[in-house]
């Protein structure tokens, strides 16, 4: 069966612009494209000598040490979704599913009925930079104050984690407790000390306070802040950055110590609608309300669902959840066009009853595929599955979509159980195959595998899933090590490509991997010791399924145009293709990023784009990085980002191309943490405002192939009501065009450069 070729973006070429040029001094932001290739520029030539010298020796060690510097499993990849359904997104007219699977435990919360229920809503609001920079927490507090709550609802807010609150009266030096009462924010505890919001005890003490002072038969808990999902968990305290986030084990400890169980626990935070979160929360709550994806900055819209609850405190929890979901998604569709929005409500009683056994069986079926040397099928399924927060490389994917893509009977049974446990789910139109619950599965960054397995052990997840992801990571990393020939564009830039290192010789592969393991002390690669897949078996599989870089050469037709022919067996190993352009400004090379621009001729040969133009905003060339492509029949959404300074703050502009907007538009921006302040993911900024100042940023390399710094690129732009995206001429300097190929091991390779 012929492999489907990835979709290319259609360019809109316009005149104007003043060409590519960096300006000012270095910004010290680190590589804005996440692609600091320093130390890799000669990998091709080193590898060539190593292979020529035999199966071992010092030169092999040099090669592996160079790979270690780059980081196994941390290579930049991507995801080109090819959904097999249109997704699982309800509309506001759809009724929520109130049925519960047979055998599920009784709900811990007993609803009295007839509007007699007393409700305490506990809002744990870690304001962090979302508040200090963008006033997001204060905005949500205003929405709560605008609601008519009635006499049977108490909203208690715990504030902290923020260097500068924008609301008058809220302290930035100590934590405080407030109540929303009669449309006002009333102080209950003016000084609760200076405490880290990611310390489980801080959360536990707040819950105890609410339970003692505001007893109710229905308790709700909302955790407001950044979210990191399965591995990183919840929270980023701007004042206690070194404390890190509160992982799932920490959340579990806080809830256990509080002694309180909840009607629902919600996360007004990114990426927390995971299977791992659901497993962890089951002893403490009946329902989970959370998002699979990065939340737009406006977050939950509180006024309307609180108004409805105030009129009927006996409303079913599923209907409360439906109102929260509908208000959030509707509001985001209005104000955050193009941003991927998801929110779902999961019945934890049903989830804990029906999902664990089926997830275990599914995990075994995936393990069997890997053991039986069907890794490619699993890798293809993983790659073609809806992935969330892709640019953050946290490797969270939709579990229903993945289970169906794997295609085993066990996958179908798991999918059915998950869809039943998700009682209501809505998404924006810009996202497909998001069914309401995600899970960690490695692909972009295998360094998370060992920490994830530790979390699973801590929260009591079945070991079969840990075994499954360890096996996958072992093959993936082995494939990356064995095929680490041309994993940097710098060798292409400087004409040092060697296409002899990708080898089917098992002895060479074994030598490379043994040296890698031996030189990896202190790194998270314990999964490489997995014995269910022998290293010999892994080496054999890789030798039979390796990407032959000797194919990555350009040929020319009589008219001088370029083309590249790959055997179909090689195309089957390709997940993604992107054009990489470097611009010579006379002192070095400006990296202009990655764009999915290419074509194929009738015989399947790759036709490169050799025009001297690049993506621009308001005619100013920018560094653009394509992240993912979603296709559903003829409908498509292509997403990427542009590194920039927005009013002096470091962000990534979210760029979207789709059927309705083939020329593209700026859908918003997300904060980019330069110094690794947190592993969690912030909510996206809602929108740019007229008058905002944009300064674009690029990575710059010397002629020696060393990353120098990041610089301002082109001229600053003032945001207007009509921001345009097009391709413009890059200027008079020489450009080098290369294509980056990503294979089934998420290893990347660059073609030789075309000079224009």
User: CA geometry: angle at 310 spanning 306 and 313, to 5°?
Assistant: 110
Average pLDDT of the residues in 39-51: 33
Q: What angle do CA 566, 739, 625 make, to 5 degrees?
A: 140
Q: What is the pLDDT of residues 70-105, one digit of tens each?
A: 333 332 233 333 333 334 556 666 788 889 999 999
pLDDT tens figures, 730-749: 999 999 999 999 999 999 99
Rg (the chain; Cα; Å): 26
What are the pLDDT digits (tens) for 174-201?
999 999 999 999 999 999 999 999 999 9
Strand, helix or coil for residue 324:
helix
Asked if the model's pLDDT at residue 288 lies above 60, the reply is yes
Over range 120-138, report the average pLDDT.
Answer: 94
From CA 313, how far away is CA 119, in angstroms rounded?
7
Which of the four pLDDT bands, split at 50, 70 and 90, describes residue 522?
A: low
42: pLDDT strictly greater than 60: no
- Interval 634-659: pLDDT, tens: 888 899 999 999 999 899 999 999 99
Of all residues in the chain, what percent carry a pLDDT higher than 70?
Answer: 88
- Residue 330 is predicted with a pLDDT of 92
Range 196-225 average pLDDT? 98
Closest by Cα among 620, 606, 538 to 574: 606
Query: Which range (15-19, 449-453, 557-561, 669-673) has the least confidence?
Result: 669-673
pLDDT in the model for residue 623: 97
Residue 278, number of CB atoms within 10 A of its CB? 25
What integer pLDDT is reported at residue 111 of this predicted model? 97
In the numeric block, which tokens belong to residue 247? 């992982």
Q: Is the dihedral angle over the CA atoms 659, 664, 665, 667 positive or is it negative? A: positive
pLDDT above 50 (res 1): no
Q: Identify the band that residue 497 occupies on the pLDDT scale cut at 50, 70 and 90.
A: low
Whether 322 has a pLDDT exceeding 90, the answer reads yes
In the predicted model, is pLDDT for residue 49 greater than 50? no
**Mean per-residue pLDDT, 606-615:** 96
Q: Which of 44-58, 484-498, 616-630 has the lowest mean pLDDT?
A: 44-58
- Residue showing tokens 């920039």: 644
Model pLDDT, residue 486: 54
pLDDT of residue 64: 38
Check if the beta carbon of residue 194 is closer than 8 Å to that of residue 171: no
Helices (H), 373-505: 375-383, 399-406, 409-421, 449-459, 463-482, 490-493
Q: How many Å apart are CA 308 and CA 317, to the nearest integer?
A: 12
Place of tokens 């509309």: 91
Q: Where are the domains of the chain?
A: 1-30+567-756, 119-444
Determine the Cα angle at 403 with ends 402 and 409, to 5°. Answer: 155
Neighbours of 380 (CB within 10 A): 18
Q: How confident is the model at residue 336 (pLDDT cuts 50, 70, 90)?
A: confident
Return the pLDDT at 355. Answer: 98
* 297-332 CB burial, b ≥16 within 10 A, e <16: bbbbbbbbbbebbbeebebebbbbbbbbbbbbbbbb
Reported in sequence order, the residue ranges of 99-217 that DSSP labels E, i.e. its strands, are 119-126, 153-160, 176-181, 184-189
Helix (H, G, I), strand (E, B) or coil at 328: helix
Given this model, what pLDDT does residue 742 score? Answer: 93
Give the per-residue pLDDT at 741. Answer: 93
pTM of the model: 0.89
Under 8 Å between Cβ of 185 and 148: no
Exposed/middle/buried for residue 10 (C-beta within 10 Å: 0-12, 13-18, 19+):
exposed
Beta bridge partners of 388: 396
d(CA 466, CA 476): 15
**pLDDT higher than threshold 80 for residue 494:** no
Residues 6 or more apart in contact with residue 91 via CB below 8 angstroms: 426
Q: What whole-number distance in Å separates Cα of residue 28 and Cα of residue 708? A: 9
Closest CA to 382 of 371, 366, 368: 366
pLDDT of 616 reads: 97
Dist. CA 435–CA 556, nearest whole Å: 46
φ, ψ dihedrals at 703, nearest 5°: -70, -15
How confident is the model at residue 688, as a pLDDT? 83
Chain mean pLDDT for the chain:
88
Residue 339 or 360, more confident: 360
Q: What pLDDT, in 10s, does the model give residues 349-404?
A: 999 999 999 999 999 999 999 999 999 999 999 999 999 988 888 999 999 999 99
Q: Comparing C-alpha atoms, which of 255, 294, 277 is closest to residue 355?
A: 277
The 3-state DSSP class for residue 173 equals coil
């Amino acid at each position: 069966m012929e492999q489907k070729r990835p979709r290319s973006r259609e360019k809109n070429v316009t005149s104007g612009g003043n060409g590519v040029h960096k300006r000012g001094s270095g910004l010290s932001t680190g590589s804005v494209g996440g692609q600091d290739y320093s130390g890799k520029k000669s990998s091709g030539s080193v590898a060539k000598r190593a292979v020529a010298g035999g199966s071992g020796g010092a030169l092999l060690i040099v090669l592996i040490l160079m790979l270690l510097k780059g980081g196994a499993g941390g290579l930049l990849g991507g995801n080109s979704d090819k959904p097999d359904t249109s997704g699982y997104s309800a509309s506001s007219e759809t009724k929520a599913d109130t049925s519960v699977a047979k055998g599920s435990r009784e709900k811990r919360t007993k609803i009295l009925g007839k509007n007699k229920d007393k409700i305490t809503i506990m809002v744990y609001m870690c304001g962090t930079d979302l508040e200090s920079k963008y006033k997001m927490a204060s905005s949500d507090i205003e929405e709560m104050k605008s609601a008519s709550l009635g006499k049977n609802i108490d909203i208690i807010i715990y504030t902290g984690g923020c260097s500068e609150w924008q609301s008058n009266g809220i302290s930035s030096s100590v934590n405080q407790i407030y109540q929303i009462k009669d449309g006002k924010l009333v102080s209950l505890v003016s000084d609760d000390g200076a405490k880290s919001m990611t310390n489980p005890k801080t959360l536990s003490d707040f819950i105890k306070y609410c339970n003692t002072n505001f007893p109710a038969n229905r308790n709700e808990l909302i955790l407001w802040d950044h979210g990191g999902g399965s591995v990183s968990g919840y929270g980023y305290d701007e004042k206690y950055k070194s404390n890190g986030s509160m992982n799932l084990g920490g959340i579990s400890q806080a809830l256990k110590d509080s002694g309180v169980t909840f009607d629902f626990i919600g996360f007004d935070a990114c990426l927390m609608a995971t299977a791992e979160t659901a497993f962890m929360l089951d002893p403490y709550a009946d329902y989970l309300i959370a998002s699979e994806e990065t939340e737009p900055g406006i977050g939950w819209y509180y006024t309307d669902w609180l108004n409805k609850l105030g009129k009927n405190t006996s409303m079913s929890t599923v209907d409360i959840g439906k109102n929260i979901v509908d208000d959030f998604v509707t509001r985001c569709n209005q104000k955050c066009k193009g941003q991927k929005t998801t929110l779902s409500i999961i019945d934890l009683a049903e989830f804990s009853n029906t999902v664990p056994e089926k997830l275990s069986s599914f995990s075994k079926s995936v393990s069997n595929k890997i053991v039986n040397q069907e890794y490619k099928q699993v890798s293809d399924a993983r790659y073609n599955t809806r992935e969330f927060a892709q640019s953050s490389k946290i490797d969270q994917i939709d579990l229903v979509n993945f289970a169906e893509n794997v295609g085993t009977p066990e996958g179908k049974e798991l999918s059915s159980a998950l869809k039943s446990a998700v009682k209501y789910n809505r998404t924006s139109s810009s996202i497909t195959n998001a069914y309401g619950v995600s899970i960690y599965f490695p692909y972009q960054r295998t360094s998370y595998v060992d920490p994830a397995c530790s979390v699973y052990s801590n929260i009591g997840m079945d070991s079969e899933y840990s075994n499954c992801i360890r096996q996958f990571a072992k093959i993936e990393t082995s494939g990356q090590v064995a095929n680490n020939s041309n994993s940097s564009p710098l060798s292409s830039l400087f004409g040092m490509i060697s296409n002899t290192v990708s080898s089917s010789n098992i002895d060479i592969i074994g030598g490379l991997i043994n040296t890698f393991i031996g030189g990896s002390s202190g790194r998270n690669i314990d999964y490489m010791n997995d014995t269910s897949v022998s290293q010999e078996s892994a080496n054999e599989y890789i030798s039979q399924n390796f990407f032959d870089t000797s194919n990555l050469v350009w040929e020319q037709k009589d008219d001088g145009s370029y083309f590249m022919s790959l055997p179909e067996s090689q195309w089957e190993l390709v997940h993604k293709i992107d054009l990489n352009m470097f611009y010579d400004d006379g002192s070095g090379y400006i990296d202009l990023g990655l764009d999915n621009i290419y074509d194929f001729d009738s015989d399947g040969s790759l036709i490169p784009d050799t025009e001297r133009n690049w993506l621009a905003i308001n005619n100013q060339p920018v560094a653009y990085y394509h992240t993912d492509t979603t296709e559903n029949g003829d409908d498509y959404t292509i997403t990427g980002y542009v590194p920039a300074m927005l009013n002096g703050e470091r962000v990534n502009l979210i760029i979207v191309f789709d059927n309705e907007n083939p020329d593209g538009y700026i859908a918003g921006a997300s904060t980019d943490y330069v110094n690794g302040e947190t592993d969690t993911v912030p909510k996206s900024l809602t929108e740019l405002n007229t008058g905002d100042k944009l300064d674009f940023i690029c990575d710059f390399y010397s002629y020696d192939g060393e990353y120098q710094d990041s610089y301002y690129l082109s001229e600053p732009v003032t945001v207007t009501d009509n921001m345009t995206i097009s391709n413009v001429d890059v200027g008079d300097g020489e450009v080098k065009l290369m294509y980056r190929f990503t294979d089934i091991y998420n290893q990347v390779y660059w073609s030789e450069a075309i000079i224009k």
